[in-house]
Amino acid sequence: MTHGVYRVDIHNTANFDAQLQELGLLAQTAGYTISGALVCKRPAPDAKFFVGSGKAQEIKDLMQETGANEVLFDQALSPVQQRNLERFLECPVNDRTMLILQIFSQRARSHEGKLQVQLAQLQYAATRLVRRWSHLERQSGGIGLRGGPGETQMELDKRMITQSIVRTKERLKKIERQQNVQRRQRGKTQATTVALVGYTNAGKSTLFNALVKAQSYAADQLFATLDTTTRQWFIPETGEKIMLSDTVGFIRELPHGLIAAFKATLQEAVHADVLLHVVDRANPDFMEQMEQVQQVLHEIGAADIDQIVVFNKCDVLKKSEIPPSCVGTWAVEGKMLPSVYVSAMHNQGMAELRILVDAGYQGVVTQFGKYQKSVGEGLHWRLPWPVQRNEQVDLRLQKLDVGTDAIVPATGLPDSAMLTKDENIVEIKLAVQWQVKDPRSYLYNVSEPVPTVVKAAETAVREVVGNMTMEDVIQGERDQIPGRVRDIMQNLLDSYQIGINVQGVNLQQSGVRPPDQVQAAFDDVLKAGQEKSRSTNEAQAYANNVVPLAKGTASRLLQEADGYAARVVAQAQGDAARFDSIYEEYKKAPKVTRDRMYTDTMKDVYTKVTKVLVDSKQGSNLLYLPLDKLLQQNLDSAKAAQTQNSAGSTNGSGANNGSAAESKPATGASESVTVTIPADSRTHQRQFGVVQEFGEIKRVITEPGLKAKVPFIQDNSYLDKRLLLLTSGNQGADSEPTLTAEKQRVVIDWYVRWNITNPQDYIRNLGTTTEAGAEQLRRVVRNSFQQQVNKLTLQQILSSQREQLMTDVKKQVSSTIADSSKPWGLQVQDVRISRVDYSKAVIGSVFDRMTAERKRAANELRSTGQADGESIRADADKQREVTLSQAYEQAQTTKGKADAQATQIYAKAFGKDPQFAQFYRNLEAYKASFQSKDDVLVLDPDSSEFLRIMKGSGAGK
């Protein structure tokens, strides 16, 4: 199959030829043969053909010369432009988006990849149904062939595509949930995750194979790899194991629909700790390709992740193009990022790359368990174990997701679901970036530091949301949520002295939304709001039309009245002046003047009308008409009769017509190591040491270091002296709900930070493990929460009394421990509510209430919009009527004054001789009345004054 390749430069692109060449490579990758290429530069796309009619004809001529049977455009075409071009060129026309989709469909191998491509193709096809199947349209539908055209083929296709899109999205969402679970399982191993990203054909898969010794498919072609592959990458220099993922390549103008469809695949990059940005350094346009990659990273929310720029294919570069040191820095979006030159094909620069990836750690050295020093990157010496050992702390920016799609068994809702102040459910997803600022505090002050960060984030976001209404969360104060969460998180972590800084909190894409069960009701509220705006806008448009039009009409009435007044007065003055002139002459010869005026008038009238004589002497009423008039009258009568018969016949016949991974702490961050040496005991920085002799406690070691003990007689045990974490475990399916003051069944998840203060009392009364004390403490805290929650309403628990509730529980727990007959040897430092949810049994009724509330809000918006619209229309009508009535009043007043003035003028002029004035006005009336041949004048021979004058009688007789 041969193709013509065409590109239109809209914005004077600098690397125009390179982009056209890339289009040709895309076409070849899809298996097409290029027959010719054509370029066109325009200031803006043509609405009909995109390239203009003249260039379209040039394309058609080139197709005939080269024998091409399909046309490819480098830019995205609108459905209308594509249809018009296909009709004009008489061949298939496709754009860059379709070409990329076709390549993806050929390269997809996994079930997930095929589904993602299918979704993108369906979304693309949904916009291409532009009346291509009008010949299949059913022109009539319904019983009795009434109601207009029936369902068209285009409508059928659109419905089928929509249904397929929904099904495909559901299947992809299920895969995404499975991947999130797998990602969380990998996160529990505390391994660093690294993702390869970059422009297509930059060598990512080749580099992936070189690093992990894999055999993934790699080729010198665009989009050789679509499916994400994850393997373990061993760093021999440090012994660390890293999870390395190879992702799909990016390309210029990557369709947004494709990015959305490959969301699950791209999540590997979003959740990575480090991104290796692989660049084809041998490509002359590598800088623009880097910019395109950064744009996609911004779009998927991965731009803030640490990056290492990997310049690949250095083996084909000139020596002058390679810096003396293959390791350096490179500016990307104003930030200096570490960079390295490698050749994945020839395994060059791999060691330097491994060192860069493993950088960003600080070592903490202990001697016999006691803290000695902290060391930075590089090679450092220490005494061999068991004297000294070192632990690594990751100082790089860490990321964790708060709110996932994982279902909580106790509620049946996603982990991201939480309650608002007005007792509604909303889903929120946040991304938290944090960093270790004090490795010593991070290791020795708090046990389980990463879960502590997670719990602090969950507590903070639910505390913030619990103090906001649903409307504030979704719209009003949405942008303030991240800042408030960060402040609360940092205060909590500082109180634990964990040595962590919260660098940022951001809402994820679609991070704030109602649950799926009520999404339709919320969408209807938005729709109702739009309808309200439309109603008011339409009413305002009506008012903007009616009121100015009324003002214009009123202005016209007033101007017409002024014109009328001027005309009437001027006409009266003219008529009066004319009468005065004639009257002066009339007084000189009254009879002669009167007869002449009458005769001239009758002459003028009779020459314009048809004369009729009536013979009244013989008592006959026969009309004497001219012969032509009689013939015409008969002909008209015959035609009228024929027309009437035809109409009756016609009437007789016409009657028959009728997407979360948890961030990982540094390796060894929460590890507790115990070493016993004969005749000695070693107490670690994070531990208490307890020396027992035949079961009796002899002493407690609180300071770390090497201590002596009697061998075989004395035994030593250890207890963690850091701040410990105790969780409620109230997220399981068998969790027992707690009743509030209004008998509302809720599930409260909490956590407690506690520490051992007296190891002797703790061991004697609770046991030798932290788990024993934790279990006793859990029962006390659970009972205290039940008692305190029973006193409060749900709204108080969520907002106003939340902090006081946690304080009261802490006091009650501390009091219970202090009042115990046997001292526990522990202290509760903090009690926090991490989440408050409805029990699973009442979730359905809550959603029903939320739906009803949204329905009421939607109806209120619609009725308010209609009322506002009617009010605006009524006010506009009122202004119109008032404006027109006032204008009418002023116009009539003006006309009345003008008529009065004209009457005064006429009275003054005609009052000089009323009889002559009446005669004069009659003559003027005759002239004005008979102006056409169609006028008929009936004369009586005996009484006609004109005939008497013609016989010699005076006109004045």
**Whole-angstrom distance, CA of residue 763 vs CA of residue 741:** 39
Q: Write out pLDDT tens, residues 545-593.
A: 999 999 999 999 999 999 999 999 999 999 899 888 988 888 888 888 8
Mean pLDDT of 359-370: 78
- 619 has a pLDDT exceeding 70: no
Is the pLDDT score of 880 beyond 80?
yes
Ramachandran area for residue 451 (φ above 0: left; ψ -120 to 50: alpha; else beta)? alpha
922 or 420: which carries more pLDDT confidence?
420
With a cut of 90, say whether residue 251 has pLDDT above it: no
Tell me, what's the pLDDT at 147?
44
Dihedral Cα 410, 412, 414, 416, nearest 10 deg:
-50
Distance of CA 210 to the CA centre of its chain: 41
CATH 3.20.20.70 fits 397-513, yes or no: no
- Exposure string of 521-555, with b = 16+ CB inside 10 Å and e = fewer, is bbebbeebbebbeebbeebeeebeebbeebeeebe
Phi, psi of 322 (to 5 degrees): -105, 125
**How many whole angstroms separate alpha carbon 709 and alpha carbon 292?**
66
Rg (CA), the chain: 48
Over pLDDT 90: what percentage of the chain?
Answer: 28
Instruction: Classify residue 92 by burial, with Cβ atoms within 10 Å: 0-12, 13-18, 19+.
Output: middle
Q: How far apart are CA 112 and CA 227, in angstroms?
A: 8
Q: What is the pLDDT of residue 249?
A: 74
The mean pLDDT of 887-896, rounded to a whole number, is: 94
3-state class of 758 per DSSP? coil
| 232-236: long-range contacts, CB 8 A cutoff, minimum separation 24 | 232/191, 233/194, 235/354, 235/357, 235/358, 236/354
721 close to 686: Cβ distance less than 8 angstroms:
yes
Identify the CA nearest to 439 among candidates 388, 539, 507, 365. 365
pLDDT at 846: 92
Higher-confidence residue: 189 or 96? Answer: 96
Give the phi and the psi of residue 691 in degrees, each rounded to 5.
-100, 125
pLDDT for 683 equals 59
Pairing of strands 192-198, 274-280: parallel
Distant-in-sequence, close-in-space partners of 822: CB < 8 Å, separation ≥ 6: 761, 764, 765
One-letter amino acid for residue 84 of the chain: N
Q: Is the pLDDT of residue 707 over 80?
A: no
Q: What is the pLDDT of residue 164?
A: 80
Q: Is the pLDDT of residue 874 over 80?
A: yes
pLDDT band at 11 (very low <50, low <70, confident <90, very high): very low
Most confident of 32-41, 586-595, 825-834: 825-834
* Cβ pair 761, 823 in contact under 8 A: yes
The two tokens of residue 752 are 């407690």
The tens digit of pLDDT for each residue in 441-469 reads: 998 899 889 999 999 999 999 999 999 99
Measured from the Cβ of residue 441, the count of other Cβ atoms closer than 10 Å reads 16
Distance (Å, rounded) from C-alpha 106 to C-alpha 221? 13
Out of 289-303, 324-338, 800-814, give the one with best mean pLDDT: 800-814
Residues in contact with 382: Cβ distance below 8 Å, sequence separation at least 6, in sequence order:
365, 388, 389, 390
Q: Does domain 190-359 have CATH number 3.40.50.300?
A: yes
State the average pLDDT over residues 81-98. Answer: 83
What pLDDT, on a 0 to 100 scale, did the predictor assign at position 732? 56
Q: What is the pLDDT of residue 602?
A: 81
User: Are the C-beta atoms of residues 39 and 6 closer than 8 Å to each other?
Assistant: yes
- Kindly state the average pLDDT of the residues 929-946: 68
In tens, the pLDDT along 365-379 reads 888 778 888 877 666
pLDDT score, position 848: 94
Confidence band, pLDDT 50/70/90 cuts, at residue 16: low
> What are the backbone angles phi and psi of residue 799, rounded to the nearest 5°?
-130, -80
Q: Are 383 and 367 in contact (CB under 8 A)?
A: yes
CATH 3.40.50.11060 fits 4-133+157-169, yes or no: yes
Instruction: Count CA atoms within 13 Å of residue 670 on its CB side.
Output: 16
Q: In what order do the strands lie in the sheet with 229-235?
A: 229-235, 240-246, 192-198, 274-280, 306-312, 335-341, 327-332
**What integer pLDDT is reported at residue 260 of this predicted model?**
57
Task: Tell me the C-alpha distance between 709 and 712, whole Å.
Answer: 9
Contacts of 622 (CB under 8 A, 6+ apart): 615
Residue whose pair of structure tokens reads 């039309």 in the numeric block: 545
Nearest to 735 by CA among 800, 786, 810: 786
- pLDDT above 70 covers what percent of the chain? 77
User: How large is the average pLDDT for residues 437-441?
Assistant: 89
| Cα(875)–Cα(547) distance, integer angstroms | 9
CA distance 791 to 803: 14
- 510 falls in which pLDDT band (50, 70, 90)? confident
What tokens appear for 775 in the block? 């279990």
Distance CA 554, CA 551 (A): 5
For residue 420, pLDDT over 90 is answered with yes
Residue 422 has pLDDT above 60, yes or no: yes
Q: Give pLDDT, residue 670.
A: 33
pLDDT class for 4, splitting at 50, 70, 90? low
Domain with CATH 3.40.50.300 in the chain: 190-359
CA distance 19 to 24: 9
Pairing mode, if any, of strands 687-693 and 696-701?
antiparallel
For residues 732 and 806, which has the higher predicted lDDT (pLDDT)?
Answer: 806
Choose the weakest-confidence range: 33-47, 579-593, 649-663: 649-663
**Paired strand residues for 93:** 71
Higher pLDDT, 276 or 390: 276
pTM, entire model: 0.56
pLDDT higher at 216 or 862: 862
pLDDT at 248 over 80: no
Token pair of 69 as six digits: 């049977």
* Cα distance from N-terminal residue to C-terminal residue, the chain: 111
Return the higher-pLDDT residue of 543 and 656.
543
What is the residue whose two structure tokens read 């809720």?
Answer: 746
Nearest residue to 154 via CA among 135, 140, 128, 133 = 133
- CA distance linking residue 260 with residue 258, whole number of Å: 5
- Give the three-class secondary structure for 250: strand
Q: Give the angle 922-927-929 at the CA atoms, nearest 5°.
A: 90
User: 3-state class of 753 per DSSP?
Assistant: strand
Between 269 and 107, residue with greater pLDDT: 269
Q: Where would I find the H helices in 50-129? A: 53-66, 79-89, 96-107, 111-126
Query: Is-contact 923 586, C-beta < 8 A?
Result: no
Tell me what pLDDT residue 667 has. 35
Q: Which amino acid is located at 224 in the chain?
A: A
Query: Averaged over 256-271, what is the pLDDT?
Result: 63
Distance in angstroms (rounded) separating the CA atoms of residues 554 and 64: 66
Token digits for 791?
């006193």
Q: What is the pLDDT of residues 787-798, one digit of tens each?
A: 999 999 999 999
Which of the given ranges, 168-177, 269-278, 380-389, 640-649, has the highest pLDDT on average?
A: 269-278
User: How much is the pLDDT for 737?
Assistant: 85
So what's the pLDDT on residue 327?
81
Of all helices (H) and strands (E), which one includes residue 878? helix 843-910
Region for residue 75 given its phi and psi (left: phi exceeds 0; alpha: psi -120 to 50; beta: otherwise): beta
Query: Tokens standing for 28?
Result: 């070849």
Beta-ladder partners of 657: none
Separation CA 231–CA 216 (nearest Å): 10
pLDDT at 138: 46
Task: Return the top range by mean pLDDT from 256-270, 402-416, 479-493.
Answer: 479-493
Q: What rounded mean pLDDT belongs to the chain?
A: 79
pLDDT at 112: 67
CA–CA gap between residue 685 and residue 860 (Å, rounded): 65
Tokens of 651: 């009437």
Return d(Cα 100, Cα 29) in angstroms, integer: 10
H/E stretch holding 683: strand 680-683
Helix extents (H) in 678-769: 759-765
732-739 CB contacts, 8 Å cutoff, 24+ apart: 732/409, 732/410, 733/409, 733/410, 733/840, 735/409, 735/410, 737/839, 737/841, 738/785, 738/786, 738/789, 738/790, 739/789, 739/790
Residue 33: pLDDT over 50: yes
Distance CA 881, CA 174 (A): 64
Q: What is the pLDDT of residue 624?
A: 43
Q: Which of 513-522, 647-656, 742-751, 892-901 has the lowest mean pLDDT?
A: 647-656
Name the most confidently modeled range: 199-208, 359-368, 381-390: 199-208
| DSSP state at residue 325 | S
Assess contact for 338 and 346: CB atoms under 8 A. Answer: no
Contact 553, 884 (CB under 8 A): yes
Residues of the chain with CATH 3.40.50.11060: 4-133+157-169
314 exposure class (CB count in 10 Å sphere: 0-12, 13-18, 19+): buried
Q: Where in the chain is the domain with CATH 3.30.479.30?
A: 397-513
